[in-house]
Amino acid sequence: MPAPVLITTADASLWTGHPQGTIRRWAHEGRITRHPHHPRGVRLDLNELPPAVNGTPGAVPPLPTRTAAAA
């Protein structure tokens, strides 16, 4: 996997064509990785984000797989 290219939520919004609220929701749901220990706040990895194509928003990242709960 390539080294992460860390960007802001605003930059991620421009890259994907989705609103910032959607980007934050994806991070909360675990669809994309948050990097909260950056000196200037939370950053996201550009490599995990689908790009917008010709003005059409990028695809939605899949939800993370969950393991079965212990019985």
Q: How many CB atoms lie within 10 A of CB 25?
A: 13
pLDDT at 21: 96
Eight-class DSSP state of 18? S
Residues linked to residue 56 through DSSP beta bridges, in sequence order = 53
Confidence category of residue 63, pLDDT binned at 50, 70, 90: confident
Q: How many CB atoms lie within 10 A of CB 35?
A: 14
Beta-strand relationship, 34-35 and 6-7:
unpaired
Model pTM? 0.79
- Closest of 68, 69, 35, 66 to residue 49, by C-alpha: 35
pLDDT at 38: 77
Instruction: Tell me what the mean pLDDT of segment 44-65 comes to.
Output: 90
pLDDT at 17: 95
Confidence category of residue 43, pLDDT binned at 50, 70, 90: very high
